Amino acid sequence: MKTIQLYDSREARLKPVKSLRGDNIIRMYICGPTVYDYSHIGHFKTFIVYDTMVRFLKYAGFDVMHVVNITDIDDKIIRRANEEGRSYREVSEEFTEDFIANWRALNLLPPYALPRATYHIRDMHRIIETLIERGYAYVADGNVYFSVRRFGKYGEISKQSIDDLIAGYRVEEGEGKRDPLDFALWKRAKPGDPSWDSPWGRGRPGWHIECTAMSSKLLDPPFEIHGGGEDLKFPHHENERAQTNSYIGGEAVYIWTHVGILKMAKEKMSKSLGNIVTMRDLLRIMHPDTIRIFVISTHYRKQSEYSDEKIREAQNIQRRIQSVYTRLLRAEEGGIEIDVNQYREEILSHLSNDLNTPAALSTFMSFLDELSSALASRGLSKETREDALRLYKEIQYIFGLQLETSLETRGILELLINVRKELRKRRIYDVADMIRDELAKKGVILEDIGEDTIYYTV
């Protein structure tokens, strides 16, 4: 296979993906959600892209350790908690659960870790203390600020010089700052807000230090890949880089990747779809494969648009992939040979080129055209059929598709799960177990998690 290359935003060039320590592991840190509301299709564009990247790297033979953080303390969370008379913890846990449920429904691989920021306050203290000792940070009346000018290479990710920034970019407000560019590592507690003890008095962490603490603790920088939405380049990633680099005394990240934002084409949306923006509502009416196909139909670095038309296109592709698959499974032996491997090589070469999923998908669709016309005429040879099924499985894995579970099948599965739940409630365990065992024989595994039952196919 060709060397996999990814675009590094900082050096503005394609770089070969390699394991920095030669242990075959790619360490990846992805900036996760701030959990103050239900997840949105826009957030999941980023996570679907990274899931595809992780899957492709694993397919290519790497081991991947990917960490996705949960920002569970923030102004918006506190505001919502105060408005609803709840604790910040109740709010953040509710929306963390929503995030995880969507993650599962969309068939994203479980991350190596899903750390919550507030579980790493001590780690943040340790890093802040080191930064103060080395002169990169200073204390001002219970706040701690990072000194941006002390870190010389600020602005390389978002391609802005310190002078540009001073000339008008937004700078954080703060008491006792020596320079308007400096940003908070630790914020003095405001009355009534959640706060933690610290060497500088009670307070709470700044947003950026969270990611430095969690990536340093879990991935031990330097690490291979850092990810997040394009909107995080400045100030978040500039600040994160300034902190982590100063803390470890070197370049913390080998490749900084960024995903183009998803725009909502409101004027181009039908009423029904236009109102649906939360992932949990969207998943009620749409096959998860359709959502994944919609996302990978645009190159990850480009902005994409969520519109009726785009969703319809993705739906057509999903149905095509599903229907040719069903025909292929049922096909009887015939005489046509297709060079499946040529398509495979082309797909992999597109994916190796900065994860060009739209080109890979389009090659796969051409393959389906050839397959489909062969199935309609003299049929496929035994070898071609077997290799076509193998390529299907590979594509299914890399794109994270669930194939078998069409929307109708999902409806029936959910009905069976509910019937089984009711049977268990009434202590009719033998029939409940029969449902579980029979489904397992068909490759559908039910797993009880607390009150809930999830299912997946094997």
Give me the least distance between CB of 123 and Zn ion, in Å please.
14
Smaller CB separation from Zn ion, 244 or 384: 244
Smaller CB separation from Zn ion, 46 or 290: 46
Q: Contacts with Zn ion in 355-384 (CB under 5 A)?
A: none
Burial environment of residue 447 by CB neighbours within 10 A (0 to 12, 13 to 18, 19 or more): exposed
3-state secondary structure of 8: strand
Runs of H (alpha helix) within 3-62: 41-59
- CA pair distance 456, 108, nearest whole angstrom: 12
Applying CB under 5 A, which part among 26-34, 180-188, 359-367, 446-454 lies near Zn ion? 26-34
What are the Cα distances from residue 280, in Å, to 44, 263, 435, 446?
11, 19, 27, 20
Give me the least distance between CB of 30 and Zn ion, in Å please.
8
Give me the least distance between CB of 58 and Zn ion, in Å please.
23
Applying CB under 5 A, which part among 24-32, 161-169, 287-295, 350-358 lies near Zn ion? 24-32
Q: Which residue type sits at 178?
A: R
Smaller CB separation from Zn ion, 175 or 231: 231
Applying CB under 5 A, which part among 29-37, 45-53, 285-293, 347-355 lies near Zn ion? 29-37
Give me the least distance between CB of 219 and Zn ion, in Å please.
13
Give me the least distance between CB of 31 and Zn ion, in Å please.
3
Applying CB under 5 A, which part among 19-27, 28-36, 122-130, 350-358 lies near Zn ion? 28-36
What are the Cα distances from residue 260, in Å, to 287, 304, 305?
23, 7, 10
Return all residues near 356 (Cβ < 8 A) that are at least 6 apart.
Answer: 299, 350
| List 4, 6, 31, 388, residue binding Zn ion (CB under 5 A) | 31
Give me the least distance between CB of 209 and Zn ion, in Å please.
10
Smaller CB separation from Zn ion, 243 or 352: 243
CA dihedral 231, 234, 237, 238 (to 10 degrees): 170
Residues in contact with Zn ion, counted by CB under 5 A, come to a total of 2
Give me the least distance between CB of 241 and Zn ion, in Å please.
11
DSSP character at residue 229: B
Return all residues near 106 (Cβ < 8 A) that are at least 6 apart.
Answer: 44, 47, 48, 51, 279, 283, 288, 291, 292, 400
Q: Contacts with Zn ion in 124-183 (CB under 5 A)?
A: none
- CA pair distance 249, 351, nearest whole angstrom: 34
Give me the least distance between CB of 147 and Zn ion, in Å please.
20
Burial environment of residue 12 by CB neighbours within 10 A (0 to 12, 13 to 18, 19 or more): exposed
Smaller CB separation from Zn ion, 29 or 343: 29
Decide if residue 30 touches Zn ion (CB under 5 A).
Answer: no
Decide if residue 252 touches Zn ion (CB under 5 A).
Answer: no
417, 446 contact by CB (below 8 A): yes
Smaller CB separation from Zn ion, 31 or 65: 31
Smaller CB separation from Zn ion, 47 or 367: 47
Smaller CB separation from Zn ion, 98 or 210: 210
Give me the least distance between CB of 175 and Zn ion, in Å please.
25
Burial environment of residue 412 by CB neighbours within 10 A (0 to 12, 13 to 18, 19 or more): exposed
Q: Contacts with Zn ion in 174-213 (CB under 5 A)?
A: 211
Q: Looking at the DSSP assignment, which residues form a beta bridge with residue 264?
A: 306
Where do contacts with Zn ion occur on this chain (CB under 5 A)? 31, 211
